[in-house]
Amino acid sequence: MSKLIDDNRKKKFQNFKRSELAERLGRVARICNDFSIPILIIVDGWESSGRGYVIKDLTREFAAKNYDVEVFDKDEREDNLYPFIRKFWINTPKKGHIKIFDRSFYYKLFEKKNFDGKKLKKRIDSIKSIEKALYDDQTIILKFFLNVDKEEQKKRIEKLEDSVKEDFYLDGLDWDQQENYKEYEKHFSKMLEMTDLSYSPWDIIDANDKKSASKEVLGLAIDKITQGIERVIRQREENENVERDYRLRSNILQAIDLSKAISDEDYEEKKNKLQKEVAEIMYKYYEKGISQVIVFEGVDAAGKDGAIERLIKEVDPRLFEVHGISAPSKEELDHNYLWRFYKKLPKDGYVGIFSRSWYGRVMVERVEGFAKVNEWDRAYDEILDMEKQIYDHGSLILKFFVMIDKDEQLKRFKDRQREPDKQYKITDEDWRNRKKWDQYIESMNEMLERTNVDYAPWIIVEGNQKKYARIKVMQEYIKYAKEHLKKLDR
């Protein structure tokens, strides 16, 4: 038997019938559905190890509407146009739902024996971040690796070669693993050890006998989901009473000079030239196949949308998409808060512009109490993990924060009320938020302090004069975009 198997671990569930175990698993799955607890089950392993067989048993008593199986295609040409982890994020389970990954984000780690060291570390860091984010967001994560010895794998491959199902089940990797079994075994051991995490450990299953393997997976799934339910209930109780000891080191927004301005003549002279240069740079990014993520945040009525409109004025509209982010939909609320943003990331060569963004988690959701303290407090690191994945893909990521003072905001609110064409821009919510000005400023200062990093910098834009702000946004975009291209060319 392969050395991957822990000889000390006794099989616990062989005296049960698979049908009995499946029924029990179905019951705990229904409890998760009732409590809106998501479950992610990863089934990986050697080629021809019986993943399909095990998955069929796992799902036999699940309500059809409460689960689905995601089989990740080996053809990754489209997926490679996005950050590595995106396709997995957008397939994570919603609340009360079960998602089964046949293969997973581990597939490429297992398939490539000679992964480049830096690239391997980035991939594993990405995997750790998604599993930790899901675990903290009360998802139950199960990871099974199906292990077969060389002789058994060979028998199964030969049997499939004689089957009408050959084209569906076999490819070159099956025989490559068979011919280089020892190398793959050593590689698998290393990968499993590196990704065996306290919050999402691996269970290595002896799959030489499919029925025996299926019983072990079913039994372990029952135990681990039951434990997961207890853990989630504990998490929900602990979420209600959390104190923070974080103290701001500086008041960034109070220190900026909002009197900065530009003359009308300078504005007109610079605007057209800058807009053409922005268009040229964005097209250059398109030619090079490099995506861009540009975030705009700021206080209400700061002029974010006006700055965006001037930035993209001369850009081919086929190259960008502007996402106006508002309150999440019912479907979006059923997922982790980052899910809806991963779905909106641009593919290589294109630009995704966000008017408001994932930072709502640590601003409006914090101030208005839509997220509990430990939910938004851990979001700073979760957000930086996401932005690092975008950057590691080679993308440019820039974040503009447009600031105006409280008096200027009041003036703009009143102007919007008076002008019929602008009344849609002012809502009761804007006035309510204004009453919490100090709380929002505190949250914004902490956000800027904790998420300003080299790979995703914050650019603070003094916005009391709109024309000054618009010129600064274009100038800063051009500066950072050129610098990023130089880094990539090194």
pLDDT digits (tens, 9 = 90+) for 13-32: 999 999 999 999 999 999 99
Residue 402 has pLDDT above 60, yes or no: yes
CATH number for the domain running over 18-239: 3.40.50.300
User: What pLDDT sits at residue 339?
Assistant: 98
The two structure tokens encoding residue 4: 């991957």
User: What pLDDT sits at residue 13?
Assistant: 92
- pLDDT tens by residue, 206-262: 999 999 999 999 999 999 999 999 999 998 888 765 778 888 888 999 999 999 999
Contact 475, 275 (CB under 8 A): no
Amino acid at 209: D
> What would you measure as the largest C-alpha separation in the chain, in angstroms?
85
User: What pLDDT sits at residue 173?
Assistant: 83
CA atoms within 13 A on the CB side of 261: 6
User: What pLDDT sits at residue 490?
Assistant: 75
- pLDDT tens by residue, 309-344: 999 999 999 999 999 999 999 999 999 999 999 999
User: What pLDDT sits at residue 169?
Assistant: 56
Residue 488 has pLDDT above 60, yes or no: yes
Distance CA(326)–CA(306), nearest Å, equals 17
CA atoms within 13 A on the CB side of 97: 16
Check whether domain 253-489 has CATH 3.10.310.50, yes or no = no
User: What pLDDT sits at residue 75?
Assistant: 67
User: What pLDDT sits at residue 158?
Assistant: 85
The label of the residue with tokens 């919603």 reads: 94
Domain residue ranges of the chain, discontinuous segments joined by +: 18-239, 253-489
* Count of CB atoms situated within 10 Å of the CB of 29: 25
Residue 397 has pLDDT above 60, yes or no: yes
User: What pLDDT sits at residue 240?
Assistant: 65
User: What pLDDT sits at residue 430?
Assistant: 82
Which among 337, 57, 414 is positioned nearest to 219, based on CA atoms? Answer: 57
pTM of the model: 0.92
User: What pLDDT sits at residue 168?
Assistant: 47
Mean pLDDT, all residues of the chain: 92
- How much of the chain, in percent, has pLDDT values that exceed 90? 79
Residue 88 has pLDDT above 90, yes or no: yes
Identical fold between 18-239 and 253-489: yes
User: What pLDDT sits at residue 165?
Assistant: 52
Contact 352, 345 (CB under 8 A): yes
- pLDDT tens by residue, 160-195: 776 645 444 556 788 899 999 999 999 999 999 999
Residue 9 has pLDDT above 90, yes or no: no
Section 437-451 average pLDDT: 97
* Count of CB atoms situated within 10 Å of the CB of 73: 10
SS3 string, the chain, reads: CCCCCCCCCCCCCCCCCHHHHHHHHHHHHHHHHHCCCCEEEEEEECCCCCHHHHHHHHHCCCCHHHEEEEECCCCCCCHHHCCCCHHHHCCCCCCCCEEEEECCCCHHHHHCCCCCHHHHHHHHHHHHHHHHHHHHCCCEEEEEEEECCHHHHHHHHHHHHCCCCHHHHCCHHHHHHHHCHHHHHHHHHHHHHHCCECCECEEEEECCCHHHHHHHHHHHHHHHHHHHHHHHHHHHHHHCCCCCCCCCCCCCHHHCCCCCCCCHHHHHHHHHHHHHHHHHHHHHHHHHCCCEEEEEEECCCCCHHHHHHHHCCCCCHHHEEEEECCCCCHHHHCCCCCHHHHCCCCCCCCEEEEECCHHHHHCHHHHCCCCCHHHHHCHHHHHHHHHHHHHHCCCEEEEEEEECCHHHHHHHHHHHHHCHHHHHHCCHHHHHHHHCHHHHHHHHHHHHHHHCECCECEEEEECCCHHHHHHHHHHHHHHHHHHHHHHHHC
